[in-house]
């Protein structure tokens, strides 16, 4: 897969404010495809299936040429999302994803979060492996699981998915080393810290009620203020290298040893076109030195 993948959470149209336009979203997917992106990450939870439908419509026949990573387990219960990884829910969720995406087999199926309904991971993994044996799923992954789970199930897993960005680096000392030891790939999510590392918020942003960033402490005055000098340095480093700050932030994530791809979200094609410039940086002969320096100076 490409080192930059498109994250489709915002494209579901929920939790990301009032400016998510499905036509712009489809154009964003097509822009990613045109730029050589071959990895698209979705989930049943993203807009209750809307992200899947948008992806299917925007990719058309290309859906079978790329890798569509999806998830299983998280569902709404009243106003709250919960994780149910019971074998019965796993199977029902997978059948619904197959129908929405219009495929006979899912390329990559990842448990979205650890189960909150008491199902032991061993029972979930057994159900997932059975679905793979039946040919409904090609590869398996775990999101938001700790290093112990990843190492314990490494033989069955293609990937582990975890958060990773210049301001959230814990993954480099737990999930990434565990995945490397087990020969498991890593998909790093939220590489822009929900847009913060694009450098576009010059002042404290005010999000509408419909945008979860309103409740995210990184966008509250004190943490935002603490991060501002680092984001300023990122902007300056990006200007020197000649790429948008978002591309530099994404390239730093994608270049960490053990990371297979950075999953970066976008609402419109212009954002995608900025973010995929990370690939250009990753191809430079001095990429490792350059990006290590970005991580140190940030
Ligand atoms: N497994 C999990 O539990 C899990 C959890 C989180 C995410 N993920 C996956 O990882 C993907 C990426 O994470 P994320 O979408 O949460 O966060 P992200 O990639 O850090 O940020 C994406 C957001 O930043 C803004 N943005 C993107 N490119 C930009 C640019 N060039 N300039 C300015 N703003 C830009 C857009 O929002 P605005 O335009 O509104 O600012 C966009 O929706 C998700 O879409 C999802 O596929 C998985």
pLDDT tens-digit readout, 198-211: 999 999 999 999 99
The ligand 1 atom at the shortest distance from the C-alpha of residue 196 is: 24
The ligand 1 atom at the shortest distance from the C-alpha of residue 20 is: 40
Q: Give the separation between CA 105 and CA 125, rounded to whole angstroms.
A: 18
Mean pLDDT of 57-65: 98
Three-state DSSP class for residue 169: coil
Q: What are the tens digits of pLDDT across the range 104-114?
A: 999 999 999 99
Is residue 143 within 8 A of residue 162, CB to CB? The reply is yes
pLDDT surpassing 90 at residue 79 = no
Full-model pTM: 0.98
Element (H, E) at 296: helix 287-297
Pocket test for ligand 1, best of 42, 266, 268, 272 (most atoms within 8 A of CB): 266
Residue minimizing CA distance to atom 26 of ligand 1: 195
- According to the model, what pLDDT value does residue 223 have? 98
Q: Taking all residues of the chain, what is their mean pLDDT, rounded to a whole number?
A: 97
Q: What are the tens digits of pLDDT across the range 130-183?
A: 999 999 999 999 999 999 999 999 999 999 999 999 999 999 999 999 999 999
The ligand 1 atom at the shortest distance from the C-alpha of residue 195 is: 24
Identify whether 46 is a catalytic site residue: yes
Residue 253: pLDDT band by 50, 70, 90 thresholds? very high
CA–centroid distance, 8 to ligand 1, in Å, is 8
Alpha carbons within 13 angstroms on the beta-carbon side of residue 259 total 29
Mean pLDDT of 25-31: 98
Residue minimizing CA distance to atom 48 of ligand 1: 189
- According to the model, what pLDDT value does residue 147 have? 98
pLDDT surpassing 90 at residue 78 = no
Pocket test for ligand 1, best of 73, 75, 195 (most atoms within 8 A of CB): 195
Is residue 106 within 8 A of residue 98, CB to CB? The reply is yes
Mean pLDDT of 185-202: 98
Residue minimizing CA distance to atom 42 of ligand 1: 266
**Between vectors from CA 218 to CA 50 and to CA 161, what angle results, nearest 5°?**
50
């Amino acid at each position: 897969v490409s080192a930059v993948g498109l994250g489709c959470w915002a494209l579901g149209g929920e939790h990301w404010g009032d400016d998510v336009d499905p036509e712009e979203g489809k154009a964003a997917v097509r822009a990613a495809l045109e730029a050589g992106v071959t990895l698209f990450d979705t989930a049943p939870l993203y807009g209750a299936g809307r992200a899947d439908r948008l992806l299917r419509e925007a990719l058309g026949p290309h859906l079978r040429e790329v890798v569509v990573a999806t998830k299983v387990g998280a569902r709404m219960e009243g106003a709250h999302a919960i994780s149910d990884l019971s074998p019965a829910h796993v199977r029902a969720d997978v059948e619904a994803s197959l129908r929405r995406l219009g495929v006979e087999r899912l390329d990559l199926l990842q448990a979205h979060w650890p189960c909150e309904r008491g199902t032991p991971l061993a029972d979930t993994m057994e159900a997932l492996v059975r679905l793979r044996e039946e040919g409904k799923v090609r590869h398996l992954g775990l999101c938001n699981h700790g290093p112990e789970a990843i190492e314990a199930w490494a033989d069955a897993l293609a990937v582990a998915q975890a958060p990773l960005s210049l301001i959230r680096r814990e993954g480099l000392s737990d999930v990434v080393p565990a995945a490397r030891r087990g020969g498991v790939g890593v998909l790093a999510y939220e590489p822009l810290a929900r847009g913060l590392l694009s450098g576009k918020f010059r002042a404290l942003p005010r999000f509408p009620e419909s945008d979860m960033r309103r409740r995210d402490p990184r966008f509250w005055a004190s943490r935002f203020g603490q991060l501002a000098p680092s984001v300023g340095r990122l902007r300056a480093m990006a200007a020197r290298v000649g790429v948008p700050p978002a591309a530099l932030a994404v390239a730093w994530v994608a270049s960490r040893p053990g990371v297979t791809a950075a999953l970066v979200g976008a609402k419109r094609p212009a954002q995608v076109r900025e973010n995929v410039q990370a690939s250009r940086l990753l191809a430079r002969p001095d990429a490792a030195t350059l990006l290590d320096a970005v991580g140190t100076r940030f």
